């Protein structure tokens, strides 16, 4: 039985529910890409699908709009896959379990994927409705946006005729985004060596953090579990001798890590001191992050005497130095746009596997030279410790366009419909607009969308009423492009 039956707009929520049945995590978008192709075939629409799974679907202009500028409707079909600890869900096989509570739509135990499933649902609802007034449309749905915008980077845009682009990948109703940061993923590997040792096995878990989007929510100064784990281990090393065997934290470099764990061996007589250190550390963190991460917990579990491989002392010191010195958070605010983060970094994935300690971080900046400098800083730190550094998935910033006819149409339409001017903003998060702006000469683009919260976390919600308002707004904008 449909969970979203009766919600308005009906066809938007119909398609949203349909795509939520399809596993579509980043790097696993084959099924949703095929679904889009089948949709185009059923509706007799021109389409193409490339090797990356990107899908372009075209629809001719409605009567009276033949001479209007072509419009690109753009979003991405992949989602960030996060689930609550212990929740039984396989993102490669299972659909989402949707839930409605008042005005909010969510998924039980997992991320919802409103970012950016709502763009796909809007686009399909527009494409199927022949009663709408609109210019010729080019719906561009990309893959693997959440892991470096790989689909958009690979897309051939030479056949696109659109001069206006509506990117439906923003999360705040009433705001039009007109610029975004560029970025890259920094992949660091620190070589480590092991030795055989023995002792009581201790597992430290830091969890209960708020997390969030590493771009849009980096200015909220939330705690990063990986950084806190490094800090705890460094402080503990001054009190107790221990030998690290495991490190892990985070799942996505573009999500602020909500939990991290370490396993080490130490003497049995140190159990009380380690437990007291964890309790004191947790107490201090809750005070430091009061109002942003009130639920932080630091717990220690022991599993008895054992023996096995642990880091050598020199390797352990290198790893702790690396974790302590690795930058996190806002590095610089914009000097031109009030309240805009210019440059930031988020260490998002930590693991110790084989002969290396690996960290993947998301770097963002709206200034190219600042992004380069931060990348070089992390490279220097990594290579100073004998490690290797690889920047991956670099994408360009979307530069502010002083004269934008589309922005004026969208602002005027919003004011006519809702009685106030929308807020025109730049965003620190990366958007695919930068890639399309670089590929398509003179492209005029604006990003908008319905209100969402907690994206990239298991607390993600989509406002139902906002979805309806922004649907009506989208249709009116298309009608007003003449």
Residue 279 per-residue DSSP state: H
In DSSP notation, 455-473 reads TTSTT-EEEHHHHHHHHHH
Question: In terms of DSSP bridges, do strands 452-453 and 182-191 run parallel, antiparallel, or are they unpaired?
Answer: unpaired
Give the residue carrying structure tokens 């185009």. 40
Residue 25 per-residue DSSP state: B
Q: Of 18, 78, 116, 173, which is the active-site residue? A: 78
Q: What radius of gyration do the chain's Cα atoms show?
A: 24
Instruction: Report how far residue 176's alpha carbon sits from residue 320's, in angstroms, rounded to the nearest whole number.
Output: 43
* Buried b / exposed e along 395-421 (16+ C-beta atoms within 10 A): bbbbbebeebebbebbbebbeeeeeee
H/E stretch holding 378 reads helix 368-384
The residues, any chain, with a CB within 8 Å of residue 181's CB and separated by 6 or more, are: 215, 341, 342, 364, 365, 366, 397, 427, 428, 429, 430
Instruction: Report how far residue 124's alpha carbon sits from residue 133's, in angstroms, rounded to the nearest whole number.
Output: 15
Three-class DSSP category at 282: helix
Instruction: Report how far residue 188's alpha carbon sits from residue 349's, in angstroms, rounded to the nearest whole number.
Output: 10
Closest CA to 410 of 400, 423, 401, 426: 423
Closest CA to 320 of 197, 443, 231, 431: 231
Instruction: Report how far residue 427's alpha carbon sits from residue 449's, in angstroms, rounded to the nearest whole number.
Output: 13
Instruction: Report how far residue 331's alpha carbon sits from residue 328's, in angstroms, rounded to the nearest whole number.
Output: 8
Q: Of 82, 144, 145, 172, which is the active-site residue? A: 145
H/E stretch holding 202 reads strand 194-207
Indicate if 399 belongs to the active site.
no
Instruction: Report how far residue 54's alpha carbon sits from residue 140's, in angstroms, rounded to the nearest whole number.
Output: 7
Instruction: Report how far residue 69's alpha carbon sits from residue 16's, in angstroms, rounded to the nearest whole number.
Output: 28
Indicate if 207 belongs to the active site.
no
H/E stretch holding 416 reads helix 405-418
Are the C-beta atoms of 445 and 437 separated by less than 8 Å?
A: yes
Instruction: Report how far residue 241's alpha carbon sits from residue 245's, in angstroms, rounded to the nearest whole number.
Output: 13
Are the C-beta atoms of 306 and 267 separated by less than 8 Å?
A: no
- Point out the residues that are catalytic: 78, 145
């Amino acid at each position: 039985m449909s969970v979203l039956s009766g919600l308005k707009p009906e066809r938007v929520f119909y398609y949203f529910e349909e795509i939520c049945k399809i596993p579509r995590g980043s790097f696993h978008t084959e099924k949703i890409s095929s679904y889009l192709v089948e949709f185009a075939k059923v509706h007799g629409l021109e389409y193409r699908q490339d090797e990356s799974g990107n899908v372009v679907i075209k629809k001719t202009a409605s009567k009276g709009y033949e001479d209007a500028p072509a419009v690109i409707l753009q979003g991405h079909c992949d989602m960030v896959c996060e689930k609550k600890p212990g929740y039984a869900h396989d993102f490669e096989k299972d659909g989402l379990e949707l839930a409605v509570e008042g005005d909010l739509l969510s998924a039980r135990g997992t991320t919802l994927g409103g970012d950016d499933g709502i763009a796909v649902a809007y686009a399909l609802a527009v494409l199927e409705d022949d009663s709408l007034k609109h210019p010729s449309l080019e719906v561009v749905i990309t893959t693997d946006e959440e892991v470096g915008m790989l689909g958009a980077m690979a897309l051939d845009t030479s056949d696109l005729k659109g001069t206006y682009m509506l990117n439906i990948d923003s999360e705040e109703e009433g705001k039009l985004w007109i610029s975004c940061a560029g970025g890259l993923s920094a992949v660091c590997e620190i070589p480590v060596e092991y030795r055989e040792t023995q002792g009581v096995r201790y597992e430290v878990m830091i969890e209960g953090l708020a997390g969030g989007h590493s771009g849009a929510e980096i200015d909220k100064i939330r705690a990063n579990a990986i950084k806190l784990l490094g800090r705890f281990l460094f402080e503990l090393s001054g009190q107790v001798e221990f030998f690290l065997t495991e490190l892990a934290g985070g799942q996505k470099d573009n999500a602020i890590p909500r939990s991290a764990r370490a396993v080490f061996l130490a003497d049995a007589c140190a159990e009380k001191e380690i437990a007291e250190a964890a309790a004191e550390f947790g107490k201090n963190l809750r005070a430091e992050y009061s109002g942003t991460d009130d639920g932080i917990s630091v717990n220690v579990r022991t599993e008895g005497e054992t023996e096995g491989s642990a880091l050598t002392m020199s390797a352990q010191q290198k790893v702790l130095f690396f974790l302590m010195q690795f930058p996190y958070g806002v590095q610089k605010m914009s000097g031109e746009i009030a309240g805009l983060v210019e440059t930031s970094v988020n260490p998002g994935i930590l693991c110790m596997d084989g002969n290396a300690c690996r960290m993947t971080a998301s770097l963002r900046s709206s200034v190219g030279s600042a992004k380069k400098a931060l990348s070089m800083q992390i490279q220097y730190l990594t290579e100073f410790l004998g490690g290797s550094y690889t920047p991956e998935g670099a994408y360009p910033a979307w530069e502010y366009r002083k004269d934008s006819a589309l922005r004026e149409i969208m602002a005027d339409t919003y004011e006519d419909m809702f009685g106030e001017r929308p807020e025109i903003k730049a965003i620190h998060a990366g958007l695919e607009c930068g890639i399309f702006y670089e590929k398509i000469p003179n492209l005029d683009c604006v990003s908008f969308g319905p209100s969402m919260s907690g994206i990239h976390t298991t607390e993600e919600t989509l406002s139902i009423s906002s979805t309806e308002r922004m649907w009506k707004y989208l249709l009116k904008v298309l009608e007003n492009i003449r």
